[in-house]
């Protein structure tokens, strides 16, 4: 009934094109292909240029990268203990401590939070001579490729070697029995020989924690170390106390890192963890990261010393004489309290001032070490050489007051026997230098009377019997 009107389109009118819909999947594929092309071009460029130094170890984590502290929140039971970094947690008494039972290609942390492959029982096995090594990252073995290359393990091996020498060549050491008349030539010759060290099974326990100062060590000895019945305590420190502001009693977790640890993980964080393995393999990502880091400001002072740029270390030194004296006074007072604790427990103390690159003979520095010196700058070098020896003087003064309980070893000025190079950075030694540091600590231990074998008492003369007199 009703006819619809038919619309007639003019014959030569252009047809309207259909609007294409935006495809999210297509965009993702396009971006992916673009990045893949850039990755291939980057690899081809470096292959043709022959410059593979930047990517020769692209799949290998450097030892020094594995020693970065990753501070965790208190809810450790909800978190994984697997990380590319060294996990630490807040500790009300110590400031912070290492997370127990961690394992990495370059280090192992035992059930007590010490850098050791095996647990440390509270009850000391019979015949074990237990020595604790305390300190900061240098004592911990920062940059070492394994526990076996740290100062503690090397020192343990050297002490066991000494015991073997005493058994194989006893004639080169003092006799077991005390001399009757020390003025006799025979006895003078005996006293000229080195005394024997205590026999037993030596175990060096590496209880050092990166970043620790003497205040942390004081709390650690009082609350943790003494209950393990040590026969000797070694402190390898000094540098952290020089750099730590006087208004701080000990090193604490920086507030920024506490907030970061307590912050709940976002979706972006989980995505980052998923794509991290891919980024480690990518030349393009490495090049981008390299130049991005260079573009970032480098003059911002870090809130944790181990995270600091070499050129910024000078900012952590005391800026005036009153501040310097306060830092020395804090170190001295902490050492006195440590000595009081160890003396009450009848445990001798060996205090070692840790190495630092400005104490090295400039003629022995390699080009790589020279670059470190250049980055530190003249102001740092002059102030360090002026201020740091005061810690050595404070330690020696303490030893003079308590000669029977304290031994001091100065490692600030490295001897000519140390290899070139010796330093990875201003305070951390390479593995060959660790051997020499362990050797110096060994000689310090061997010279301590309380670590030497006690002479056997002479047998009393027996009266002749009536039968023998006939």
Mean pLDDT, rounded, of the chain: 83
Task: Encode pLDDT of 238-294 as tens digits.
Answer: 999 999 999 999 999 987 666 555 555 544 444 454 455 555 556 666 666 555 544
d(CA 82, CA 385): 41
Is the N-terminal amide bond of 421 cis, ω within 30° of 0? yes
| Beta pairing class for 349-353 and 232-237 | parallel
Phi and psi (nearest 5°) for 304?
A: -140, 125
Count of Cβ atoms closer than 10 Å to residue 106 Cβ: 20
Band the pLDDT of 320: cuts 50, 70, 90. very high
Torsion of CA 431, 437, 439, 440, to 10 degrees: 170
Find the mean pLDDT for residues 166-181.
79
**Which H or E run includes 349?**
strand 349-353
Task: Find tokens 């450790």 and name the residue.
Answer: 76
Please give the pLDDT value at position 79.
47
Give the model confidence (pLDDT) of 354-400 as tens digits. 999 999 999 999 999 999 999 999 999 999 999 999 999 999 999 99
Identify the pLDDT of residue 270: 45
| 469, two tokens | 């007199």
* Residues pairing with 197 in the sheet: 452
Q: Is 154 exposed, middle or buried (0-12, 13-18, 19+ CB in 10 A)?
A: buried
Q: What is the pLDDT of residue 283?
A: 61
pLDDT for 185 beyond 70 = no
pLDDT exceeds 90 at position 301: no
Q: Check: CB of residue 442 under 8 Å from CB of residue 155.
A: yes
CB 376 within 8 A of CB 360: no
Helix (H) or strand (E) holding 377: helix 367-387
Query: What is the rounded radius of gyration, in angstroms, for the C-alpha atoms of the chain?
Result: 31
Is 80 exceeded by the pLDDT of residue 456?
Answer: no
Q: Supply the angle between the helices 24-49 and 283-295 in degrees, to the nearest 10.
A: 80
Q: What is the mean pLDDT of residues 227-247?
A: 98
Give percent above pLDDT 70 in the chain.
Answer: 72
pLDDT for residue 6 is more than 60: no
In the Cβ-directed half-sphere of 411, how many Cα atoms lie within 13 Å? 34
CB atoms within 10 A of CB 162: 17
- Domain ranges for the chain: 116-269+308-451
Q: Which residue has the tokens 């009934």?
A: 1
Write down the pLDDT at residue 469. 46
The DSSP string of 154-194 is HHHHHHHHHHHHHHH-GGGS--SSPPS-TTSHHHHHHHTSP
Q: What's the rounded mean pLDDT across residues 220-236?
A: 98
Asked whether the whole model's pTM tops 0.85, one would answer no
Describe the chain by its helix, strand, coil percentages, rounded to 5. Answer: 45, 10, 40
DSSP annotation of 19 reads: P
Location of structure tokens 């009107």: 5
Q: What is the pLDDT of residue 285?
A: 62
The whole-number pLDDT of residue 59 equals 47
C-alpha of 348 from chain center = 24
How high is the pLDDT of residue 271? 47
- Confidence band of 428 (pLDDT split at 50, 70, 90): very high
**pLDDT higher than 60, residue 32:** yes
Residues in the chain, how many? 470
pLDDT band at 30 (very low <50, low <70, confident <90, very high): confident
Give mean pLDDT, residues 303-321: 92
pLDDT for the residue numbered 123 = 95
Specify whether domain 116-269+308-451 bears CATH 3.40.50.1110. Answer: yes
Cβ contact 437:414 at 8 Å: no
């Amino acid at each position: 009934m009703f006819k619809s009107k038919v619309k007639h389109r003019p014959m030569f009118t252009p047809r309207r094109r259909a609007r294409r819909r935006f495809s999210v999947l297509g965009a993702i594929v396009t971006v992916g292909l673009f990045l893949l092309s850039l990755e291939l071009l980057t690899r081809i460029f470096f292959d043709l240029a022959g410059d593979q130094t930047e990517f020769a170890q692209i799949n290998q984590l450097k030892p020094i990268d594995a020693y970065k502290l990753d501070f965790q929140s208190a809810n450790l039971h909800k978190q994984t203990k697997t990380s590319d970094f060294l996990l630490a947690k807040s500790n009300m008494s110590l400031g912070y401590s290492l997370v127990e039972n961690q394992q990495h290609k370059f280090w192992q942390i035992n059930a007590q939070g010490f850098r050791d492959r095996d647990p440390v029982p509270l009850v000391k096995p019979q015949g074990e001579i237990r020595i604790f090594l305390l300190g900061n990252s240098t004592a911990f073995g920062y940059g070492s490729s394994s526990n076996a290359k740290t100062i503690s393990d090397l020192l343990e091996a050297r002490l066991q070697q000494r015991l073997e020498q005493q058994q194989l060549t006893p004639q080169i050491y003092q006799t077991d029995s005390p001399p009757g008349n020390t003025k006799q030539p025979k006895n003078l010759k005996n006293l000229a020989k080195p005394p024997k060290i205590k026999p037993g099974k030596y175990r060096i326990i590496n209880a050092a924690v990166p970043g620790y100062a003497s205040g942390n060590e004081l709390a650690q000895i009082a609350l943790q170390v003494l209950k393990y019945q040590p026969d000797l305590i070694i402190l390898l420190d000094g540098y952290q106390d020089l750099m730590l502001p006087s208004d701080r009693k000990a090193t604490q977790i920086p507030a920024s890192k506490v907030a970061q640890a307590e912050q709940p993980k976002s979706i972006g964080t989980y995505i980052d963890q998923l794509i991290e393995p891919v980024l480690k393999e990518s030349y393009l990502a490495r090049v981008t990261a390299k130049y991005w880091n260079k573009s970032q400001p480098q003059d911002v002072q870090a809130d944790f010393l181990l995270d600091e740029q070499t050129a910024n270390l000078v900012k952590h030194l005391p800026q005036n004489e009153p501040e310097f004296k306060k830092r020395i006074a804090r170190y001295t007072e902490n050492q006195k309290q440590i000595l009081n604790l160890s003396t009450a427990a009848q445990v001798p103390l060996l205090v070692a001032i840790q190495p630092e690159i400005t104490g090295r003979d400039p003629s022995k520095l390699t080009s790589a070490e020279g670059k470190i010196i250049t980055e530190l700058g003249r102001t740092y070098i002059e102030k360090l050489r002026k201020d740091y020896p005061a810690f050595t003087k404070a330690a020696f003064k303490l030893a003079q007051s308590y000669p029977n309980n304290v031994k001091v070893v100065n490692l600030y000025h490295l001897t000519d026997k140390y290899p070139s190079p010796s330093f990875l950075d201003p305070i951390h030694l390479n593995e060959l230098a660790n051997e020499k540091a362990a050797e110096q600590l060994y000689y310090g231990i061997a010279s301590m009377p309380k670590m030497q074998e006690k002479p056997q008492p002479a047998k009393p003369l027996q009266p002749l019997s009536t039968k023998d007199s006939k």
